[in-house]
Structure 1
Amino acid sequence: MTDSKRAGEPAQQSDLINVAQLTAQYYVLRPEAGNAEHAVKFGTSGHRGSAGRHNFNEQHILAIAQAIAEDRARNGITGPCYVGKDTHALSEPAFISVLEVLAANGVDVIVQEHNGFTPTPAISNAILVHNKKGGPLADGIVITPSHNPPEDGGIKYNPPNGGPADTNVTKVVENRANELLASGLQGVRRISLDAALASGHVKKQDLVQPFIEGLADIVDMAAIQKAGLKLGIDPLGGSGIEYWKRIAGHYKLDLTIVNDHVDQTFRFMHLDKDGAIRMDCSSECAMAGLLALRDKFDLAFANDPDYDRHGIVTPAGLMN
C-alpha cells in the first residue's frame, strides 16, 4: 500500500463513488468467459470484487447462490438460511439476487425485518441459537466486502457451525459457481423478487433484540453499566448502527454514537493510508475522525461495515 499525502484527510466529493453507475454495472456488465480475473474466487469464506471490474455482477451472485443452495441440499441442511447484508452499495442488489435464487430452490430464508442491515456476528448468533434447539440445521449468507472500499461487493457463506466456511466448502461452491457461469447460468433456478417474497420461503424477523439480550450471557454488561464509563461509538456507516442504539438503551449505558449516518458513498470517512476510502477500524488514518474525539470519552469504539472487526480508542490513541 503506497502512502498518500492525503492520508487521514476527510473524503472529498471527487473521492466518492457514483452509486447509480455502480448499481447499473452490477446488472449490465458481464464476466468474460475464460478471463480468470472475472471468475468466482473465494478467499476467507467469501468472494469479493466490484461490478466495474466484472467480478461482482449479477451473474456471479446468481451462480454463487445456486451453488450454495445445491451444496446445503447435498449436505442435508434443510433448516432456514439466515441472509444478512451490510451497507455497501452493491449489497442491496446482491441481496435481492440471493433471495430470488434461494426461494426458487425452495430454501426457507430468514432476513431482518424492515429491510434492515445485519452484522456478521448476528447471523452467526442466529445460526447457533437455532441449531441448539435441534431439528433441521440452519446456515447463513452475509453479503459484505468487509472493510473494503465503497465500490466493492462481497458474499460469504456461514455453515451450521456459525463461523466462516472452510476451504472444503468454499472450493466446492467456487467450482460449481464457475461451472454455472461458463454454462451461461444453465441450471440456475430463479424467480422474481415479488414471487420470492410471496412464496412463503422468505420470512422477516427482528434479529437485533435476541442478539442484544444474548450479550449478557457472555459479557458482564452489569459491570460495564456500574462502571459509569463514558463510551463513544463511530459505526463507520456500517450494519450495526441499530445494534449500538439498542445496546445503549437496553443496558442503560452512557453511550454516544458520534455518527449515525448510512451513506453508500461513505463520504464521512477519512482517507486511508493509500488515499482510498476504506472502513478499516485498525487504521489510524481511516479512524482519524474518532481519534479527534478521543478526549471526550473514556473508551471509544468503531467497527467495519459487517462488524466482524473492531477498533478501540482510548485517550492515548488507537489500541494496536
Structure 2
Amino acid sequence: MVVSVASNSFLNLSSLPKGKLFGTDGIRGKAGNLLTAPLALAVGYWAGQMYKEQFGGGAIAIGQDSRNSSDMLGMSLTAGLTAAGLEVWNLGLCPTPCVAYITANTDAIGGIMISASHNPPEDNGIKFFTSNGTKLGKVYTSAIEAGIRGEKPPVALDVNWGQHYPRQELVKQYSSALQASLPSDRPLQGLKIVLDLAWGACVKVAPPLFKALGAEVICLHDVPDGDRINVDCGSTHLNLLQQAVCETQAQMGFAFDGDADRVLAVDNQGRIVDGDYILYFWGKLLKSKSQLPNDLLVATVMANLGFERAWESIGGRLIRTAVGDQHVQAQMWETGAMLGGEQSGHVICHHYNCSGDGVQTALHLACLTRQLGMSLGEMRDQSFETYPQLLKNVRVEDVERRLAWENCDPLQGAIEQAEQAMGDRGRILVRASGTEPVIRVMVEAAELELAHHWSHYLVETVQEHLVKKG
C-alpha cells in the first residue's frame, strides 16, 4: 500500500532563495530564517531518499550541539527521514566527530550533525556524513537539493515508516574509543589543564575524559547553553582561557568550538598554540616513529610560512589545499597522508579517526608533553617562529558580488600589486567564506608593518568595489 504521490508535495520547497543551499560544510544560516522546520523536514525526506538509493535501507545517526534551535531542526529532520522509511538514532548532545565515529564504526548508513560550528547562537546548520564517517560529497548533496527544489519527480510515500530510537549510549562508545587511543591508563596524571567548552557540544564528553586520564581539570563555560554558545568564548575568543591558565598556573589550556571538531591550545605562559603548531608537534612525533608516510603533512593555504619552512627543514613535506577540512580530508585520502589539518584547529589523524576531532587532538597533545618530558611552552619555543599574519573579514551581504569577487578587476589589480611589492617576503590570500557572508583577506609578511600596509589596502579595495553603498 502506498500513500498518494500528491501527499508529499509539501516536501518540495521550490520557493527557496536563489543560490546553492549547500555550502562548503552542509547547510548553514540563521534559524527561523533559512533554517526552518519545513525546510528541515524536506531536507530529511530527500536526504532519506538519497541514502536509500545510494546505500540501501538502514539507520541514520543524528547528533546536535546546544543551540536552542537544534531540537526543532532535529525533530523535523527525523520526521523527514522516517517518512522516507529510514531508522533514526538520536545521539542527543555530542561533538560532530562523535557522529562521524558512530557512522564509521556501526552499521549506520549515514550521519547528520545539527550545528553551526563556531558561528553565533542565532545560526545553525545541517551537515551530512557517509557510512565511512566522511563528509557527504557534492554529487549527493546536489541530489538532495534537487528534490527540495522540486526538480525531481515526486516519490510515492509507502507505509513502511521508519522508527526513531534514542541511542545516547553510543556517545559513551565514542568516549571509550578516545580513551583507548592513548598510550597508557592515566597519561595526564599530575597535569593541571583548563578547558573552555564554549557552552557547546563537548561539555559532557571532554571533562570526564581528562579527569579519568589523571588530569586536574578546571572548566570554563561547561554547561550546554544555547543562548551563549561561542559567545566571547571557545576557540574564537581565547582571552578568558589565557587568563585562566595564567591565574591558576595550569600547564596548558584547550578551547573548543561549538561542535568540538576543532581545538586551539594555550601554553603555560598564556601563548596561543594553533593548528600549525599542533601539526608540527604531532607530525614530528609520528615521523620519529616512522608512522608518517613520506613524512607528509596536509595543510591549507592558511598555514603559516614559518611552519612550512620549519617542517621542510627537518625533512618533511607539506601539501596545501583550499580552506576547509573536507579539502584536507580529500587530499589525505588521495596521497595516503595520515595527518593533516587547519591553522584554525581542525586536525585529522587517520591513525585514530576519519574526521577532525578537537577532544582527541587535545588529549593527544597533552599526552605528547608527557612523552617528550617538556612543557607545551618549551615545545613551542623549540619549534618555529611564525610570520606575522593578519586576517580581516569584510562583510559583503550581496551574494552575487561576494561570489564573483574573482571577476572584480580593481581587486585583482590590487592583489597583483601587493604580491609584486612583497615578493618572497610574504603572500596574500583573498577568498569568499563558505560559511559566512564575508570576504576574507589574509596577508602574511616577514615584517608586521608590511602585513598591516597591504591588508589595509586590500580591505579598502574590497569595501569600495564589492560592498553596496547606501
The TM-score with structure 2 as length reference comes to 0.50
Q: Secondary structure at the match of 2:188?
A: helix
Return the letter of the residue paired with 1:312. A
Corresponding residue for residue 288 of structure 1: 239
Residue 48 (structure 2) pairs with residue 86 (structure 1): no
Task: Work out whether residues 62 and 90 of structure 2, in 8 Å CA contact, stay in contact via their aligned partners in 1.
Answer: yes
Corresponding residue for residue 204 of structure 2: 242
Deviations 1:105-146 (A, max 9, x none): 22111112xxx4011111111111114xxxxx5210111111
Residue 46 (structure 2) pairs with residue 67 (structure 1): yes
Task: Work out whether residues 58 and 94 of structure 1, in 8 Å CA contact, stay in contact via their aligned partners in 2.
Answer: yes
Residue 227 (structure 2) pairs with residue 265 (structure 1): yes
Alignment partners' CA distance in 2, 1:190 and 1:152: 34
Residue 183 (structure 2) pairs with residue 220 (structure 1): yes
Deviations 1:285-312 (A, max 9, x none): x222112112121111111111111111
Residue 82 (structure 2) pairs with residue 103 (structure 1): yes
Task: Work out whether residues 44 and 164 of structure 1, in 8 Å CA contact, stay in contact via their aligned partners in 2.
Answer: no
Distance 1:92 1:32, change over 3 A: same
Alignment partners' CA distance in 1, 2:16 and 2:172: 46
The match for 1:47 among 27, 47, 53 is: 27
Name the larger-Rg structure: 2
Task: Work out whether residues 101 and 190 of structure 1, in 8 Å CA contact, stay in contact via their aligned partners in 2.
Answer: no
Distance 1:189 1:299, change over 3 A: farther
The match for 2:129 among 151, 155, 158 is: 158
Distance 1:62 1:87, change over 3 A: same
The TM-score with structure 1 as length reference comes to 0.72
1:96 shift after superposition: 0.8
1:244 shift after superposition: 1.6
Alignment partners' CA distance in 2, 1:49 and 1:305: 15
Return the letter of the residue paired with 2:68. A
Corresponding residue for residue 121 of structure 1: 97
Deviations 1:181-231 (A, max 9, x none): x99xx769699xxxx9xx7442433122211211134332546324x2111
Q: How many pairs were matched up?
A: 258
Note the residue ranges of structure 2 that are not aligned, 5 or more in a row. 1-12, 275-470
Distance 1:305 1:268, change over 3 A: closer
1:159 shift after superposition: 0.7
Task: Work out whether residues 82 and 126 of structure 1, in 8 Å CA contact, stay in contact via their aligned partners in 2.
Answer: yes
Distance 1:188 1:68, change over 3 A: farther
Deviations 1:5-61 (A, max 9, x none): xxxxxxxxxxxxxxxxxxxxxxxxxx8926316xx6112341011135x31112221
Q: Secondary structure at the match of 1:241?
A: coil
1:280 shift after superposition: 5.8
Note the residue ranges of structure 1 that are not aligned, 5 or more in a row. 1-30, 132-136, 271-278
Return the letter of the residue paired with 2:103. I
Q: Secondary structure at the match of 2:15?
A: coil
Alignment partners' CA distance in 2, 1:188 and 1:51: 30
1:262 shift after superposition: 2.2
Alignment partners' CA distance in 2, 1:34 and 1:81: 26
Moved more, 152-161 or 289-298: 289-298
Alignment partners' CA distance in 2, 1:144 and 1:256: 25
Alignment partners' CA distance in 2, 1:110 and 1:49: 24
The match for 1:130 among 82, 106, 117 is: 106
Q: Secondary structure at the match of 2:209?
A: helix
The match for 2:257 among 301, 304, 312 is: 304
Aligned-pair Cα RMSD in Å: 2.8
Corresponding residue for residue 148 of structure 1: 119
Alignment partners' CA distance in 2, 1:145 and 1:190: 33
Distance 1:122 1:289, change over 3 A: same
Alignment partners' CA distance in 2, 1:119 and 1:255: 19
Distance 1:280 1:258, change over 3 A: closer
User: What stretches of structure 1 move > 6 A for 4+ residues in a row?
Assistant: 188-191
Corresponding residue for residue 33 of structure 1: 15
Task: Work out whether residues 94 and 205 of structure 2, in 8 Å CA contact, stay in contact via their aligned partners in 1.
Answer: no
Residue 233 (structure 2) pairs with residue 253 (structure 1): no
Deviations 1:233-268 (A, max 9, x none): 110011111102321343332222223232222178
1:153 shift after superposition: 1.3
Alignment partners' CA distance in 1, 2:156 and 2:180: 42
Alignment partners' CA distance in 2, 1:289 and 1:123: 29
* Higher normalized contact order (CA 8 Å, seq sep 6+, divided by chain length): 1
